């Protein structure tokens, strides 16, 4: 596994309700909530940031494509908005994106650019399956560890170290299965077999401890 960014986006909450400072690799900006939600609107709210991501990604993707084709379409505007729709007992968020060509364009190119816009990277993230994983740390702790245990053994996985060598799940698929959400099933084999496999992890992403020998919790 390799993260897209060397430096993660870092947010810190400020004393002023609900202002927070977002630091990215080349600067920082303020995010907030509108007064209706108890904030002071000193920066974009999270939904606006999400829409900004769709809008900017659309514009950048179109610009790159137009430049590659050498087309003369200098000015484009995109607006985005969203609403929640209830369907079959589920709430679905619908994002509408309007692309406005501010210079002349024929129908064929317009349709082609509509298709290109629909495949911009952020659209793909939002429309394909994605997950938000949450890790918690105390101050001073930085290493992500996920533990999978039963009463005898606990397997510890450090996702940042995993090189996706596939060794664990090709050699012991009853225990390691990346296609399911809880991907380590420590009840899938004997502790001895699990230990043997964990020791073959080339990156050190997998470690184990026997519960009877350890004071570790969780």
Nearest approach, Cβ of residue 148 and ligand SF4 (Å): 12
Phi, psi of 114 (to 5 degrees): -65, -40
Q: Does 165 bind ligand SF4 (CB under 6 A)?
A: yes
| Cβ(81)–Cβ(97) below 8 Å | no
Q: Select 74 or 159, whichever has its Cβ closest to ligand SF4.
A: 159
Calpha distance 203→94 (Å, rounded): 41
Q: Which helix (H) or strand (E) holds 147?
A: strand 146-149
Q: Return the residue of 117, 120, 168, 175 that touches ligand SF4, per CB under 6 A.
A: 168
| Cβ(80)–Cβ(55) below 8 Å | yes
Q: Return the residue of 162, 172, 186, 194 that touches ligand SF4, per CB under 6 A.
A: 162
Q: Return the residue of 63, 110, 119, 164 that touches ligand SF4, per CB under 6 A.
A: 164
Q: Does 166 bind ligand SF4 (CB under 6 A)?
A: yes
Q: Does 201 bind ligand SF4 (CB under 6 A)?
A: yes
Q: Classify strands 76-87 and 90-101 as parallel, antiparallel or unpaired.
A: antiparallel
Helices (H), the chain: 46-69, 107-118, 121-127, 167-171, 191-198
Nearest approach, Cβ of residue 167 and ligand SF4 (Å): 4
Q: How many CB atoms lie under 10 A from the CB of residue 114?
A: 12
Q: Does 62 bind ligand SF4 (CB under 6 A)?
A: no
If DSSP codes are grouped into helix, strand and coil, which group holds residue 4? coil
Q: Select 76 or 201, whichever has its Cβ closest to ligand SF4.
A: 201
Q: Does 196 bind ligand SF4 (CB under 6 A)?
A: no
Nearest approach, Cβ of residue 146 and ligand SF4 (Å): 11
Q: Select 121 or 202, whichever has its Cβ closest to ligand SF4.
A: 202
Binding positions for ligand SF4, rule: CB under 6 A: 162-168, 201-203, 205-206
């Amino acid at each position: 596994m390799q993260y897209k960014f060397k430096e993660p986006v870092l947010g810190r909450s400020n004393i002023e309700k609900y202002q927070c400072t977002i630091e990215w690799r080349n600067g920082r900006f303020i995010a907030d909530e509108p007064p209706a939600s108890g904030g002071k609107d000193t920066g974009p709210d999270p939904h606006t940031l999400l829409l900004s991501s769709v809008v900017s990604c659309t514009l950048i993707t179109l610009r790159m494509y137009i430049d590659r084709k050498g087309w003369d379409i200098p000015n484009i505007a995109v607006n985005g908005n969203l609403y929640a729709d209830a369907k079959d007992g589920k709430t679905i968020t619908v994002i509408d994106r309007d692309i406005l060509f501010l210079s002349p364009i024929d129908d064929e190119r317009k349709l082609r650019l509509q298709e290109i816009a629909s495949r911009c990277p952020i659209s793909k993230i939002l429309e394909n399956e994605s997950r938000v994983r949450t890790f918690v740390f105390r101050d001073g702790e930085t290493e992500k560890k996920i533990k999978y245990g039963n009463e005898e053994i606990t397997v510890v996985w450090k996702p940042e170290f995993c090189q996706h060598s596939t060794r664990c799940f090709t050699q012991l698929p009853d225990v390691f299965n990346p296609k399911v959400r809880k991907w380590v099933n420590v009840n899938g084999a004997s502790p001895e077999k699990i230990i043997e496999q964990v020791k073959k992890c080339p990156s050190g992403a997998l470690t184990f401890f026997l519960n009877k020998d350890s004071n570790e919790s969780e």
